[in-house]
Chains A and B, each alone.
Chain A
Amino acid sequence: MQLEVRDINKSFGEKQVLKDVAFSVPGGQALGLLGRNGAGKTTMIRIIMGVFDADGGSVLLDGKPIDRSRVKIGYLPEERGLYPKKIISRQLAYFGALKGMTSSETKEATEKLLGRLEMSEYLNKKLEVLSKGNQQKIQLAVALLNDPDILILDEPFSGLDPVNAMLLKDIVMEMIEKGKIVLFSSHQMNYVEEFCRDIAILNSGGIVCSGAIRDIKRSYNRLKIVLSSVEADKVEQYIRSGAMDIVTAAERAHDTVTVTLVSADNKMELLRRLSAQNLNLDRFDVYEPSLNDIFVEYTEDSI
């Protein structure tokens, strides 16, 4: 099973919200759909869900236009909320029925999910008596109720304490292992790196970076070198006086000096010069960019 978004365009009035957006997610994988607030992520998700029609482009499942009446989609929206004054079991029964489940299927799934989410005791309570985090878990239960083929999670970890975040992480990992397609939108890059092999970064409605996180990191410019030394002050001093022909910037924080090279080819030359100075180096590493660095680099132009 593979979800493919092909050249999606969408405008609201004069404003073009999505421009030729394309990505794909195979079954058993999670794609991180990233972007700053207002980048078009929710609109993209709503198009996949069929809430909005795209002005152009298509959403395909296994190469054919997606038939939402046949494929089961679970969605955890960024904006949390259900019916505060209604009993939880009744809300789940309602959503189960809307998703086409029989009452016995819904009952069975409800018991299983609430047990898994450690929420069984709240089955016959009103939603409003639950904490924010627990309300979020009920929403997750709604999203997972019909054992969806495609799971779309929009900021699922916001508002969760570390224990509940761990629980949610386990559940999402189980879904991935079960071969489900997971689309994951979050600003918490650590979670994205944990779940997702691939990412697609949206900026001003267009995809500015996509692919496997590992490949993106590898292709990231490798001009930064991290040096650790007990003589960090001397290292910095030397670089500023004797290596500025191959270095554009140097910053020191405690025992670490981060250096930006003019060219990646200058790496060995810098190491040679530092060795020649008999400076005591504990570490000489090419800086590994975090997903956060990549995200900021690709989206900061729209700040």
Chain B
Amino acid sequence: MKQFKQVLRFEFSNYAKSKPYIIITAILVLVIAVLLTYPRISALFKSGDGGVPQAGDERPIMALADMAYGSDEMLKKMTEAFPGNKVVTTGESIDQLKSKVVSGDYASAVVIEAPLKFTYITEAISIYANPTAPIMMILKEQYQLTKITELGLDAEEASDVIHPAVGMTVTETGKSQTQSFIYTYILIYALYMAIMLYGQFVASSVATEKSTRAMELLITSANPMSLMFGKIIGTGLAGLMQFGIIFGSAFLFYNLNVDLWAGNAVIQMIFNIPLDLLLYVLLFFIIGFFLYSFVYGALGSLASRTEDVGAAIMPVTFLAMFAFFAVFYGMNSGKLDSPLMVACSYIPFTSPMAMFTRIAMSNVAPYEIIISIAVAIASTVGIGMLSAAIYRIGILMYGKPPKLGVLIKTLRKQKANA
């Protein structure tokens, strides 16, 4: 136990005190801090010139030259349609407006030349934006209103015809997949990344100890079980700490800037994770991480050189990828209780991702959760024991990795001798 603690402490500090670990964690925390504080930061740097800011109103200016209607109603509708812009009316010509857009006096300009014809002027349109769509909507609606009014209805009646009120009640008997999709996806992806990254760290670390022959001394100073479990748990704790810092800082900066994000539905969805789900993700993170890491550790012990690690761990890497994509497919299709997802919820290598996703986005009976967790924990213990036996053999084998048949034979013999 003492040796195990020493190995664990050594491995943990190897990661936690390493420059790449500290730098990457610090950069990620900084990026999260900047992203979540961005509205506050950007406000500090905005000045009062150009087409964007003006005293008292820092929004970019959209010039509206209404040659068709000339009414305040059009200004009002345009202002409502473009809340991010300050819409101002102007009598300038298209050429004048183009010049002002080029010079930056206006961010954009809309010239309504006829009831159903307009020109939109801007520097460039992002592929994610479609600013002409609301203008088209406004013009169509205004045209319909005008025509219906001409037929004898007043403006309010005409508006009721165009925008009849539809009563609607949505009742979701299960969990709202819309609400939970984003944070579930983020957490599943984090688990997948943790498995891939830290699992490979474990495998590489074992292979490095073999290739540098440090293993020759280690194996005579500590027992293999302490070496393997200390390494895996030490690495796992370092990974958990890194993810804890990253996610913790995200929650911290979100809460510090919660007022800025009140109107952002996506951010609200990401950060409004129920506490029970956080506990589930922690549990499945621990089970999933150790399950895979034990296998990565055993496979790493079969590689004699760090260059061989990639080939040695390929099967388990594919397994992790399969688990991720199967779950991702289930999430996208919305069929979270499909036979594939249910089966994946009980298979140890896929259950940490699949069962967590089902818990987050579907209705899963408590007994199903208990069975899945029990199977996963039992498998982790079993695979841990098997991995330790392989590790014990593998760490002193050099040259070509042994064939599966030879490995099984050796394991049987070892068991018979024990």
List residues of A whose CB falls within 8 A of some B CB: 13, 46, 49-51, 53, 55, 73, 75, 77, 79-84, 94-95, 97-100, 139, 142-143
Contacts and interface: CB of A to CB of B under 8 A. Distances in A.
A83 B217 contact: no
B410 interface: yes
B89 interface: no
A55 B417 contact: yes
A115 B180 CA distance: 63
B53 to A, nearest CB: 52
**Chain B interface bracket (under 10, 10 to 19, 20 to 34, 35 or more):** 20 to 34
16 contacts: A13-B409, A50-B220, A51-B220, A55-B417, A75-B220, A79-B216, A81-B213, A81-B215, A81-B216, A82-B214, A82-B217, A84-B212, A95-B221, A98-B3, A98-B7, A98-B221
Top 10 closest pairs, chain A to chain B, by CB: A81-B213, A77-B216, A79-B213, A98-B221, A81-B212, A97-B6, A75-B220, A49-B220, A98-B222, A94-B10
A46 B10 CA distance: 25
Interface of B: 2-3, 6-7, 10, 209, 212-222, 396, 406, 409-410, 417
Contacts of B215: 81
A81 B220 CA distance: 13
A142 B217 CA distance: 8
Contact of A75 (B7, B212, B217, B417): B217
A262 B406 CA distance: 53
Contacts of B10: 94, 97
Contacts of B409: 13
A49 B3 CA distance: 16
A55 B417 CA distance: 7
Nearest to A152: B220
A55 B218 CA distance: 23
A80 B220 contact: no
B410 A13 contact: yes
Contacts of A84: 212
Given A51-B219, A80-B213, A82-B214, 16 more contacts: A13-B410, A46-B220, A46-B396, A51-B220, A55-B417, A75-B217, A75-B220, A77-B213, A77-B216, A79-B216, A84-B212, A95-B221, A98-B3, A99-B221, A100-B2, A139-B217
Nearest to A43: B396
Given A13-B409, A13-B410, A82 B212 contact: yes
Nearest to A78: B216
Contacts of A143: 217
A271 B414 CA distance: 63
Contact of B212 (A49, A73, A83, A97): A83
